[in-house]
């Protein structure tokens, strides 16, 4: 192992879905900073273009594409297009998620289907299509975004939490199935991170501050603080790591936090 280059990805190709904002944008920029050519995909093409422009302005290599993870044929086409153009796909990152916050007893079938369609089925589309390509080439890193909600829940998060736990189990299955082909599969579980998905909470100070207090650092995380985990799992530094989840949660899942006893 050349430790000086263990995080470098020169000559590699990475696909980041959801790269138009938040954690996806930070992940795309971080991978590009390590030398990867990044295909920035997002449902909003303008968001993907903004991220690609930021990468290019910093001297990196990137292109922007529109992609809806729910559309399986579109995902397959995008993967095939990457293989046609670059003859390889080294890293695939799936970040998109949606949430409908309401009690389970009030959920409609339509809302249930919508959350599962994006969070679980969409992730399945990317992981399987990218995984098939990587298995053929004999190498690659699949990275899916789960959440602290794969372990702990709160009222109104039941369906979202189920999708995030399901994502971890899919990752574990892929690690077992594709490991012999040289492909690694891992998940990242963010805590509370300032992103467009969590933006509505900032408008409710009590809620926002309560979440901040649950972290041992007393604050929310930033997208760039999650990007390091993406780079790690995509790089040679994680060559013997597969089938696991890395929590980037400021200690949320480690510390009880309800009461600090006098010591």
Dihedral sign computed on CA atoms, order 38, 43, 46, 47 = negative
Tokens representing 189 are 């579980």
C-alpha to C-alpha distance for 192 and 184, rounded to whole angstroms: 26
Q: What angle do CA 15, 18, 19 make, to 5 degrees?
A: 65
Distance, CA of 24 to chain centre: 7
Strands 140-145 and 91-94: parallel
Beta strands in the chain (DSSP E): 13-17, 37-42, 61-66, 91-94, 140-145, 183-190, 245-248
CA 188 → CA 23, 40, 203, 204, distances in Å?
11, 19, 27, 27
Backbone angles phi, psi at 17, to 5 degrees: -95, 130
CA nearest neighbour of 125 among 83, 173, 188, 78: 78
C-alpha to C-alpha distance for 42 and 86, rounded to whole angstroms: 20
Q: From the candidates 160, 208, 211, 240, which is the catalytic residue?
A: 160
C-alpha to C-alpha distance for 221 and 223, rounded to whole angstroms: 7
HSE (side-chain half, CA atoms, 13 Å) at 62: 32
Q: Is 160 a catalytic residue?
A: yes
Positions marked catalytic: 160
């Amino acid at each position: 192992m050349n430790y000086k280059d263990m995080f470098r990805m020169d000559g590699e190709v990475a696909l980041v879905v959801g790269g138009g904002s938040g954690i996806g944008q930070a992940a795309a920029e971080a991978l590009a900073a390590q030398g990867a050519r990044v295909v920035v995909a997002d449902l909003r093409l303008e968001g993907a273009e903004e991220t690609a422009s930021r990468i290019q302005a910093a001297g990196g290599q990137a292109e922007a594409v529109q992609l809806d993870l729910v559309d399986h044929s579109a995902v397959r086409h995008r993967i095939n297009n990457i293989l046609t153009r670059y003859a390889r796909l080294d890293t695939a990152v799936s970040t998109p998620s949606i949430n409908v916050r309401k009690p389970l007893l009030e959920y409609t079938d339509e809302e249930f289907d919508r959350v599962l369609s994006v969070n679980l089925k969409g992730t399945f589309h990317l992981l399987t299509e990218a995984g098939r390509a990587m298995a053929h080439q004999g190498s690659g890193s699949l990275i899916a975004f789960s959440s602290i909600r794969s372990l702990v829940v709160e009222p109104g998060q039941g369906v979202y939490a189920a999708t995030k736990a399901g994502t971890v189990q899919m990752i574990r299955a892929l690690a077992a199935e594709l490991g012999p082909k040289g492909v690694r599969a891992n998940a990242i579980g963010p805590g509370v991170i300032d992103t467009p998905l969590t933006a509505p909470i900032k408008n409710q100070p009590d809620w926002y501050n309560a979440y901040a207090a649950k972290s041992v650092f007393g604050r929310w995380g930033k997208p760039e603080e999650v990007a390091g985990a993406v780079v790690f799992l995509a790089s040679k530094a994680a060559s013997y790591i597969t089938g696991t989840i890395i929590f980037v949660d400021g200690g949320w899942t480690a510390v009880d936090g309800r009461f600090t006893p006098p010591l």
